[in-house]
């Protein structure tokens, strides 16, 4: 399975991370989870919630990528808290009357029986703090009233900066720092942004909790997982196939499962996979995704394209060095710095320990196969 969250037998490893998160968040601590995109961050959170729910912990998941404004964020946050805390419109109404008497949000019941809550902040609303304080403080009131631990996961937390900037971070921090029996998981995939939020001394969340960086799943464990999945479907695979899949996917869980699924689908009649079939399937995937990658490519400047070609063919280490610039005919270091910055902002490049890499593994293969002169 790929392109969606996975649980149970489809979820690979992460036992150590789950143990740490369950312990710290269950104790009402704050954890920042930094993860490259497509490393299974959201699946990790949902599997964590299964564990916490078994302990009778109230869990609330909020995806900030779905929110394009402060009001949308507050509405979704309140909606998810209500869904996790109460069922039935009458109970929810009484619940809100008791815990949020000053806000009087509007409750809408959807056709499937789910609910939505709207606080009613107008786009022109400048004094949002009373609304924010009431809603952000709600988990603490629930924890006190129910005598239970509440765990809140804010997925793609770095998006909070797009609403009201750093003033919103300060307002949230000023409320939650007083919470007891409420664990907060702030997860983000734009690593340079979220690291800035928690490592800069002038930011509200500076060193305010444990920082966990999601690493690749240990290769021996993932190889065992891949082999087990193929064997469970009756496939015979050559010994090096799993290694070849992980190499092609750069050990990224999403791309491993994407490539593995396509191999499984392509060779389901023969039920046999050889090492050469990995490269053939990878080329097929990249060719099928070509319209998407062409759209990205056409939106780039020539210096940006040349930099991506260099990183795809070589590495992203030392891209500002004179040797790298000359070797790949990239021009000046200042020009490369500008291209690298813009490509990072667009999410095409990512950076770790000073080294750059192409965030989409299949885009890298597309550049090598179709975006570079032969």
**Residue 245: CB partners within 8 Å, gap ≥ 6?**
226, 256, 259, 260, 263, 278
Tell me how far apart the alpha carbons of residues 100 and 107 are, in angstroms, rounded to a whole number.
13
Token pair of 4 as six digits: 């969606």
Tell me how far apart the alpha carbons of residues 293 and 370 are, in angstroms, rounded to a whole number.
10
Global confidence as pTM? 0.79
Query: 139 or 90: whose pLDDT is higher?
Result: 139
- CB of 42 within 8 A of CB of 132? no
Q: Which pLDDT tens digit goes with each residue over 79-137?
A: 898 888 866 666 777 777 777 767 777 777 777 767 787 776 655 555 667 778 888 99
Token pair of 225 as six digits: 């997982």
Query: 162 or 30: whose pLDDT is higher?
Result: 30
Residue 351, by phi and psi: left (phi above 0), alpha (psi -120 to 50) or beta? beta
Between strands 150-155 and 182-188, the pairing is parallel
Tell me how far apart the alpha carbons of residues 105 and 100 are, in angstroms, rounded to a whole number.
9
Token pair of 335 as six digits: 């020009």
- CB of 310 within 8 A of CB of 292? no
- CB of 145 within 8 A of CB of 157? no
| pLDDT more than 90, % of the chain | 59
Q: Which pLDDT tens digit goes with each residue over 176-234?
A: 999 989 999 999 988 888 888 999 999 999 989 999 998 888 899 889 999 999 999 99
Between strands 115-118 and 349-352, the pairing is unpaired
Q: Span 302-326, mean pLDDT?
A: 96
């Amino acid at each position: 399975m790929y392109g969606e969250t996975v649980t149970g037998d489809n979820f690979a490893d992460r036992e150590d991370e789950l143990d740490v998160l369950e312990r710290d968040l269950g104790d009402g601590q704050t954890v920042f989870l930094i993860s490259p995109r497509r490393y299974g961050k959201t699946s990790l959170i949902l599997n964590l919630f299964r564990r916490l729910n078994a302990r009778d912990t109230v869990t609330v998941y909020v995806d900030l990528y779905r929110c394009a404004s402060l009001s949308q964020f507050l509405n979704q946050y309140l909606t998810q808290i209500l869904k996790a805390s109460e069922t039935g419109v009458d109970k929810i109404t009484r619940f809100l009357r008791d815990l949020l008497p000053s806000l009087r949000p509007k409750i809408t019941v959807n056709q499937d029986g789910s609910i939505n809550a709207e606080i009613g902040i107008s786009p022109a609303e400048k004094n949002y703090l009373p609304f924010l304080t009431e809603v952000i403080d709600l988990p603490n009131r629930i924890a006190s009233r129910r005598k239970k631990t509440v765990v809140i996961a804010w997925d793609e937390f770095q998006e909070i900066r797009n609403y009201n900037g750093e003033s919103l971070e300060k307002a949230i921090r000023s409320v939650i720092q007083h919470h007891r029996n409420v664990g907060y998981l702030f997860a983000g995939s734009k690593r340079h942004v979220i690291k800035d939020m928690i490592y800069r001394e002038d930011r509200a969340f500076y060193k305010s909790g444990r920082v966990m960086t999601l690493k690749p799943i240990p290769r021996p464990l993932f190889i065992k997982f891949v082999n087990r999945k193929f064997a469970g479907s009756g496939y015979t695979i050559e010994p090096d196939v799993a290694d070849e899949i992980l190499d092609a996917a750069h050990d990224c869980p999403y791309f491993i499962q994407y490539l593995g699924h396509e191999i499984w689908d392509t060779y389901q009649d023969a039920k046999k996979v050889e090492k050469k079939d990995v490269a053939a399937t990878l080329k097929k995937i990249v060719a099928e995704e070509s319209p998407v990658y062409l759209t990205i490519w056409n939106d780039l400047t020539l210096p940006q394209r040349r930099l991506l070609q260099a990183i795809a063919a070589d590495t992203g280490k030392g891209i500002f060095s004179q040797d790298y610039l000359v070797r790949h005919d990239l021009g000046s270091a200042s020009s490369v710095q500008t291209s690298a910055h813009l490509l990072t902002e667009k999410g095409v490049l990512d950076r770790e320990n000073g080294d750059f890499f192409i965030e989409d593994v299949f885009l890298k293969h597309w550049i090598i196969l179709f975006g570079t002169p032969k």
